[in-house]
């Protein structure tokens, strides 16, 4: 079974791109983990497609708290020097928004791109 759930904070704003006839939102999520001598942080690349991706792009900002449900896939490519590279990417089935409104750099609340403070679930 390939199913993953992560909970953490966005490391950057969501990017929305066209992928053929679909749309894909990409973002990174930082999760905490316990390790000897303290805590560590793991970074996860997440893709959310079509309506879910558009919803993420509309409402999420850097620092937003999320819970992501999805499956792990590996992206492979060859770099310009001819080296084979790969990285894990979570293909999100569902992204739950947590923590209410996101905070801007000045500490004030940011409104969504639609001008509403409400985040529908």
Portion of the chain with pLDDT greater than 70, in percent: 82
Which band of pLDDT confidence, cut at 50, 70 and 90, is reported for residue 80? very high
Query: What residues form DSSP beta bridges with 95?
Result: 68
Selection from 1, 7, 119, 107 nearest residue 57 by Cα: 119
Residue 68, classified by CB atoms within 10 Å of its CB into exposed (0-12), middle (13-18) or buried (19+), is: buried
pLDDT exceeds cutoff 90 at 55: yes
Which band of pLDDT confidence, cut at 50, 70 and 90, is reported for residue 105? very low
pLDDT exceeds cutoff 60 at 101: no
Using an 8 Å Cβ cutoff, are 39 and 31 in contact? no
Which band of pLDDT confidence, cut at 50, 70 and 90, is reported for residue 100? low
Give the angle 98-70-32 at the CA atoms, nearest 5°.
55
User: What was the pLDDT predicted at 111?
Assistant: 40
pLDDT exceeds cutoff 80 at 77: yes
Cα–Cα distance between 9 and 103 in angstroms, integer?
Answer: 12
Using an 8 Å Cβ cutoff, are 20 and 35 in contact? no
């Amino acid at each position: 079974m390939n199913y993953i759930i992560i909970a953490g904070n966005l490391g950057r704003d969501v990017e929305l791109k066209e992928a053929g006839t679909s749309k894909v939102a990409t973002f990174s999520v930082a999760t905490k983990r316990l390790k000897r001598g303290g805590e560590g942080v793991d970074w996860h690349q997440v893709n959310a497609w079509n309506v879910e991706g558009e919803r993420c792009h509309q409402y999420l900002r850097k620092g937003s708290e999320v819970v992501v449900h999805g499956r792990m896939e590996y992206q492979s490519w060859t770099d310009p020097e001819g080296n084979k590279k790969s990285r894990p990417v979570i293909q999100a089935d569902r992204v739950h928004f947590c923590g209410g409104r996101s905070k801007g750099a000045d500490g004030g609340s940011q409104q969504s791109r639609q001008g509403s403070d409400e985040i529908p679930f």
